[in-house]
């Protein structure tokens, strides 16, 4: 087993049975312990992935993604670090999915590329979404996918897994009961308690029964730990949407999360009840509606749907448009509608736009920008407020979290699925319900809990659990250095220094040529660039009096130019040396210099002709 120790300590051949506690009050691991750790989902919202390991078996609960923040330039997804699972590929691994949201299933294609998974067990709606995801990537044959429900069980050598129904914003949401050799664990998945749910009700009796037979550790959803009281029932949102649909005279445009299947179902049913034809825009929304209708979660016939070309010929008061973009995403359908760039929809005065969602923290400015554009186009915009019930959460508030704690009655508690402040707030809620403070573990990704004979301890070992940034479908990860370069390019631009040398004679053939992009305005900075060329030229002349390599030349260019540019402009552009190693390069350099002078006189820049790059590999020392 390969792990990273938080505190180095001498290792002995008997360490596996050592029961002593180290200086950090964390117990040392023994072979018969059950390990519990998260590769994602702690200290963050997203990329949920919780692992249970005993000897030669690893049970994985969920494999999600996290969508990048604005500062992660060019990153498509953030996924967990699968390195530890790859190193333990010899162990049997089973993946269990609690429900079909992206923060629980989005990482599956990336996981399957590097980790051997025996089978994926998922509820019905999640199976359809996973199949769609793997089909798009031509990976359907890479793993067995088996459908489960609240009556299913999974029997492994060391783990026996059972399930119970929970209420969430997507159909077929399950909580998980895990029987291990050292105790029982309940992982709730995402849940809320809704006494008038749209879909399947929660299994209150099963939860209460589990509490009676005894649960060692509860791992529970912490997303809404800071929200008091009970959340609003989904039925109340359905009533509000139906009322607005009836009162609206013109076209009705409703934006919501495509992942909120129950909400989409309610919007469609309200439109049909009011005699409106429906049209769906947004790829993710179209996929969800298609799967929902196929599985029977959305009971709306084909005769109630419009095709894009029929939209212009349908009376405005008979149209309901459901679309993505409730969070102000620039490329989502609603943003394009608001900007007037959508292919099929042009806003007209009298349109009513309903946001059946709440802005995710950090998205408020984007949402407001879209709302302002909609108002400018003459639309009537309705958003969630104290005056209406246009949205409710799919996650348990404080009172619902207390109810889960009271039903399960765990001896130990580990808050999961939330930012750090949410985990701490959930800890306080657990203490209020009677869980002992010393029995609560507020962990970070990579921290390991050990379950031994019905007791849970914090381990002295730690598993690597860094974020992996995915660019396209490449799961090798975009390094921090790449992201730093993208930030520098965005803020300070680029400077390219082109020089011509004769390595045989170890001399410069002419003065360097400096070209910039996104750094300074060329027309107004001729003096600065000429001075910079002389700085590089003098530094290289001095350096080339001795035996040097191409690497030495590049380092000399950077070390002389970067401080000069910062002193003059207080900016740090990326400096890229380009070395031409031939006598013929001198003629090319002179031609390029003449072209640049001509371009400057025309007040514009054009790219350099592509030179032969000699800096792509280490050169032999100049003779």
Parallel/antiparallel/unpaired status of strands 574-581 and 183-187: unpaired
Sign of CA dihedral 461, 467, 470, 471: negative
Q: Which of 14, 13, 16, 50 is nearest to 32 (CA)?
A: 16
Known catalytic residue: 158?
no
Give CA–CA dist 470/115, Å, rounded.
16
Angle 250-346-311 from CA coordinates, rounded to 5°: 65
Known catalytic residue: 90?
no
Parallel/antiparallel/unpaired status of strands 494-502 and 507-508: antiparallel
Give CA–CA dist 195/190, Å, rounded.
16
Give CA–CA dist 547/549, Å, rounded.
7
Q: Which helix (H) or strand (E) holds 456?
A: strand 455-462
- Residue 527 in marked binding region: no
- Residue 545 in marked binding region: no
Q: 172, 395, 426, 467: which one is catalytic?
A: 395
Mark 87-118 as b/e (b = at least 16 C-beta within 10 Å): ebeeebbbbbbbbbbbbbbbbbbbbbeebebe
Give CA–CA dist 533/557, Å, rounded.
10
- Residue 158 in marked binding region: no
Give CA–CA dist 593/37, Å, rounded.
61
- Residue 524 in marked binding region: no
- Residue 152 in marked binding region: no
- Residue 466 in marked binding region: no
Cross-strand bridge partners of residue 167: 192
Pair of tokens at residue 131: 């199949």
Angle 306-311-317 from CA coordinates, rounded to 5°: 95
- Residue 393 in marked binding region: yes
The DSSP line for 103-157 is HHHTTHHHHHHHS--SEEEEEHHHHHHHHHHHHHTT-GGGSEEEEE-TT-EEE-S
Give CA–CA dist 401/230, Å, rounded.
9
Placement of tokens 């309903």 in the chain: 354
- Residue 103 in marked binding region: yes
- Residue 317 in marked binding region: no
- Residue 101 in marked binding region: yes
Mark 45-54 as b/e (b = at least 16 C-beta within 10 Å): bbbbbbbbbb
In sequence order, which residues have a C-beta less than 8 Å from that of residue 62 and are 6 or more positions away?
A: 41, 48, 49, 50, 96, 97, 98, 104, 105, 189
Pair of tokens at residue 221: 């959803």
Q: 81, 221, 351, 615: which one is catalytic?
A: 221
Give Rg (Cα) of the chain: 30
Ramachandran class of 282: left when φ > 0, alpha when ψ lies in -120 to 50, beta otherwise:
left
- Residue 471 in marked binding region: yes
- Residue 372 to residues 282, 361, 378, 443, 566, Cα–Cα distance (Å): 21, 19, 10, 42, 40
- Residue 258 in marked binding region: yes
- Residue 392 in marked binding region: yes
- Residue 25 in marked binding region: no
Question: Which amino acids are annotated as binding site for substrate, given as ranges?
Answer: 258-260, 391-395
Which positions make up the binding site for Ca(2+)?
471
Annotated binding site: 74, 76, 99, 101, 103-104, 168, 190, 258-260, 391-395, 417, 471
Catalytic residues: 221, 395
């Amino acid at each position: 087993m390969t792990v990273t120790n938080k505190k180095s300590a001498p290792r002995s051949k008997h360490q596996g049975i050592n029961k002593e506690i180290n200086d950090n009050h964390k117990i040392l691991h023994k072979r018969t312990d059950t390990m519990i750790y998260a590769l994602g989902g702690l200290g963050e919202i997203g990329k949920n992935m919780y692992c249970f390991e005993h000897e030669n078996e690893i049970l994985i609960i969920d494999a999600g993604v996290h969508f990048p923040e604005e500062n992660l330039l060019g990153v498509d997804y953030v996924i967990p670090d699968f390195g530890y699972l790859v190193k333990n590929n010899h162990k049997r691994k089973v993946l269990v999915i609690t429900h079909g949201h992206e923060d629980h299933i989005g990482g599956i294609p990336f996981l399957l590329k590097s980790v051997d998974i025996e089978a994926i067990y998922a509820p019905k709606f999640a199976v359809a979404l996973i199949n769609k995801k793997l089909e798009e990537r031509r990976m359907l044959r890479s793993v067995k996918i088996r459908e489960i429900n609240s009556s299913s069980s999974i029997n492994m050598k060391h783990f026996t897994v059972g399930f119970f129904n929970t209420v969430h914003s997507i159909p077929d949401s399950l909580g998980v009961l895990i029987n291990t050799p050292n105790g029982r664990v309940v992982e709730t998945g995402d849940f809320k308690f809704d006494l008038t749910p749209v879909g399947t009700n929660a299994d209150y009796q099963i939860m209460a029964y589990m509490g009676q037979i005894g649960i060692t550790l509860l791992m529970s959803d912490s997303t809404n730990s800071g929200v008091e009281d009970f959340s609003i029932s989904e039925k109340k949102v359905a009533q509000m949407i139906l009322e607005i649909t009836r009162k609206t005279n013109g076209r009705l445009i409703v934006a919501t999360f495509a992942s909120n299947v129950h909400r989409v179902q309610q919007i469609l049913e309200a439109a049909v009840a009011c005699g409106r034809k429906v049209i769906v825009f947004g790829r993710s929304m179209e996929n969800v509606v298609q799967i929902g209708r196929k599985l029977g979660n959305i009971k709306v016939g084909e005769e109630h749907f419009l095709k894009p070309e029929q939209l212009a010929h349908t009376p405005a008061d008979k149209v309901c448009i459901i679309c993505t973009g409730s969070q102000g995403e620039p490329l989502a359908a609603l943003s394009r509608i608001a900007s007037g760039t959508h292919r099929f929809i042009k806003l007209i005065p009298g349109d009513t736009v309903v946001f059946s969602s709440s802005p995710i923290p950090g998205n408020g400015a984007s949402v407001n920008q879209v709302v302002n554009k909609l108002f400018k186009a003459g639309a009537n915009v309705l958003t969630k407020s104290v005056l209406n019930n246009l949205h409710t959460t799919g996650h348990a508030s404080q009172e619902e979290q207390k109810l889960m704690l009271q039903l399960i009655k765990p001896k130990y508690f580990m808050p999961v699925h939330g930012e750090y402040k949410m985990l701490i707030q959930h800890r306080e809620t657990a203490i209020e319900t009677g869980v002992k403070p010393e029995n609560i573990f507020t962990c970070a990704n990579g921290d390991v809990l050990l379950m031994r004979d019905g007791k849970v301890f914090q381990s002295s070992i730690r598993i690597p659990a860094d974020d992996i940034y995915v660019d396209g479908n490449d799961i090798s990860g975009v390094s921090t250095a790449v992201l730093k370069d993208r930030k520098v390019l965005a803020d300070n631009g680029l400077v390219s220094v082109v020089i011509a040398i004769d390595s045989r004679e170890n001399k410069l053939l002419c003065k360097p040529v400096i070209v910039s992009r996104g750094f300074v305005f060329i027309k107004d900075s001729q003096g600065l660039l000429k001075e910079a060329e002389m700085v590089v030229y003098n530094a290289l002349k001095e350096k080339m009096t001795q035996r040097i390599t191409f690497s030495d030349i590049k380092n000399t260019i950077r070390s002389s130019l970067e401080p000069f540019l910062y002193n003059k402009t207080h900016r740090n552009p990326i400096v890229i040396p380009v070395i031409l190693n031939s006598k013929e390069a001198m003629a090319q350099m002179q031609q390029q210099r003449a072209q640049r002078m001509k371009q400057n006189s025309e007040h514009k820049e054009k790219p350099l002709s592509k030179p032969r790059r000699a800096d792509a590999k280490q050169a032999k020392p100049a003779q």
